[in-house]
Amino acid sequence: MVVKRRKAHHSTGKKSKETDKDASTKEIEEPIPQEFAQNRAQRRQDAVQTVEKKSWKTSRRLVFTLGTIVGVLIAFYMGADHVRNNNGELFDNLSMLNLESVRDYLDDWKEVLPQSVSSFIGDMQSSYSSEPLQDLTESFAVGKQMRKEYNMTAKHPVVMVPGVISTGIESWGVEGDSECDSSAHFRKRLWGSFYMLRTMVLDKMCWLKHISLDPITGLDPPHFRLRAAQGFEAADFFMAGYWIWNKILQNLGAIGYDPDKMATAAYDWRLAYLDLERRDRFFTKLKQQIELIHELSGEKVCLVGHSMGSQVMFYFLKWAEAEGKYYGNGGADWTDKHIDSFVNVAGTMLGAPKAVPALISGEMKDTIQLNALAMYGLEKFFSRKERLDMIQTWGGIPSMLPKGGNMIWGNMTFSVEDALNNNTASFGNFIRFEKIKDGAHFKNNCSIEDSIDTIMKLSPWWLQDRIKDQYSFGYAKTEKEMKENEKHHTYWSNPLDVPLPYAPDMKIYCIYGIHNPTERAYVYREQPTNASLNITIDYDSQNPVFFTEGDGTVPLITHSICHKWAQGKSPYNPGGSNVTIVEIKHQPERFDMRGGAKSAEHVDILGSAELNEYILRIASGLGDTIEPRLLSNLSNWVQEIPFPM
């Protein structure tokens, strides 16, 4: 037997093509063993049959799978069509039951099917429910729906106060120093933009010099000057594609709000609270703005604070009434005269445990709420020591340290949250040391109170002085003590040390997420003597972080002050301001990066359809239609907490 083989030619160009063409007609016959040729032919035939067999089985399996799915959907459709024609109410009940019973099954199919088929299933689930489902994550969706159903329009002016890190910060310096020319960054956002990430990567030390504050004064370092961005652009997006307040702005706009009736109170969150007034006159400007829009509109103002922004608002209300230099001097009735409602969204009113590791060891991965890219930059290009040195210059961060001590957060053996904990140790055992070496300086575990003492011991003197002057973390024992504390700014960020303003007509809304695991306690280890940090989280531990109930950033227990206010007139709520508490269950969409319309995560809750609806109701004067909703055990926990009053 012979096999025919073509000669190879390696020339190029037109001549090569002609040569190849000629060569294709020339064949060389080479004899090969007949047995080898037969074996090769048999192997080729077997391979073809195997491929054909696999293709047939694969196609058969795919057809069967798709046929099953289509059959189920056709059954839904035919049943829907028949029942609709005979009994609409019965269909509503049955269709919802059927969809609920098979939804999980179809969701499992989505995981393994091609994207086009997954999309088809999702569309069918929505199309054949009892009512067409509106995508409430779409722009303006909630506002348009509320305007259509309730003829909702703008009423109370709205002032929105962002949380920590939410406001963009831009450079306004033109000097710099010999190693870092500040003029190259003039009016560029060094916090809250892709420019920030680029500068982190290409000029790390220059970025640190800009973003850090002067450690002694807590204000601008020599030759560098950063300021909070202004306007709605300061907080609607952290960076392109990562919204923060944008959904709320859109929905307010859909019911008639414009810059004459709403504003964002952007601030430099790096600064200690009173330093915001000393350097920027932030509170003075905010007070004047509220007074102006109140006068122009004839309506009291709705304040909406998120996270640290709620603390800033509480501080502001005490500042506005207080008398003294750098204080508001507005009088005891200023709040009741100008403020209709205070909306506390996921507020850190009693602090957040995550602030402790930030100030002890520069742990920022889950401490300061950032989007993934910003967090990647800080973790990738900066050591923990560099991050700690930077954070310690930011006087605003200690404001979020937990307040109320062991009364709220528990002692070494007991916390009201322990019912959620399957571990033998209490949540009150806040910092734990599992590996203690001979000669170690840190031998004892720490409660929240002990941890704050540890921060003070490990911090430089200038940070210790700033914390002592600006913040308190305990609680008043008597009503007389609370009234005395109202005279000094040290206590104004702690609602356990000073009461709400006397404002019988002001309405308070506490809205926060639940059912999202949240950091609550940590396992630490002491570093070697030559290390740059004294202690760090022990990531080699089997369980380095303990989680409790919350919104992913702020534990549920932080909101206990809202429940205390809601009990009625008391030393904590002297005016008997009405308090409405709404707990939102965290129910993120599986295929939505930001959780979708039912997310109650600490930042993503700002895009929640439910929260947006509540804000529109409050702003439009329909806040009294909001029903309280308590889904957690917090109200029972509050009964167990030994409040002194």
Q: Do residues 238 and 192 lie in contact, with contact meaning Cβ atoms separated by under 8 Å?
A: yes
Catalytic residue among 551, 559, 563, 577: 551
Q: Determine whether 608 is an active site residue.
A: no
Q: Determine whether 624 is an active site residue.
A: no
Catalytic residue among 210, 306, 338, 602: 602
Could you tell me the two tokens for 255? 């019911």
Using CA atoms, how far apart are residues 237 and 191, in angstroms rounded to an integer?
A: 12
Could you tell me the two tokens for 563? 């429940």
At residue 594, φ and ψ (nearest 5 deg) are -100, 10
Q: How far, in Å, are 410, 411, 449, 454, 477 from residue 407 at the CA level? A: 6, 8, 10, 19, 12
Q: Determine whether 551 is an active site residue.
A: yes
* CA dihedral for 409, 414, 416, 417, sign (positive or negative): positive
Sheet with 189-191: list strands edge to edge. 189-191, 169-171, 226-228
Q: Do residues 196 and 374 lie in contact, with contact meaning Cβ atoms separated by under 8 Å?
A: yes
At residue 326, φ and ψ (nearest 5 deg) are 70, 5
Q: Which residue has the tokens 């393994």?
A: 112
Decide: helix, strand or coil at residue 126.
helix
Burial class (CB in 10 A: 0-12, 13-18, 19+), 421: middle
Residues whose CB falls within 8 Å of the CB of residue 160, separated by 6 or more in sequence, listed in order: 235, 245, 248, 262, 263, 264, 265, 304, 305, 306, 309
Q: How far, in Å, are 190, 350, 478, 536, 581 from residue 318 at the CA level? A: 32, 16, 18, 37, 22
CA 28 to chain CA centroid, nearest Å: 74
Q: Do residues 469 and 480 lie in contact, with contact meaning Cβ atoms separated by under 8 Å?
A: no
For residue 548, the number of C-alpha atoms closer than 13 Å in the C-beta half-sphere is 27
Catalytic residue among 307, 361, 451, 608: 307
Q: Do residues 415 and 409 lie in contact, with contact meaning Cβ atoms separated by under 8 Å?
A: yes
Could you tell me the two tokens for 541? 């531990």
Closest CA to 609 of 139, 135, 131, 142: 142
263's enclosing H/E stretch is strand 262-264
Using CA atoms, how far apart are residues 354 and 361, in angstroms rounded to an integer?
A: 11
Q: Do residues 313 and 399 lie in contact, with contact meaning Cβ atoms separated by under 8 Å?
A: no
Closest CA to 635 of 557, 550, 528, 580: 557
Using CA atoms, how far apart are residues 564 and 561, in angstroms rounded to an integer?
A: 5
DSSP code of 513?
E
Q: Provide the residue type at 130 as one letter.
A: S
Active site residues: 307, 551, 602
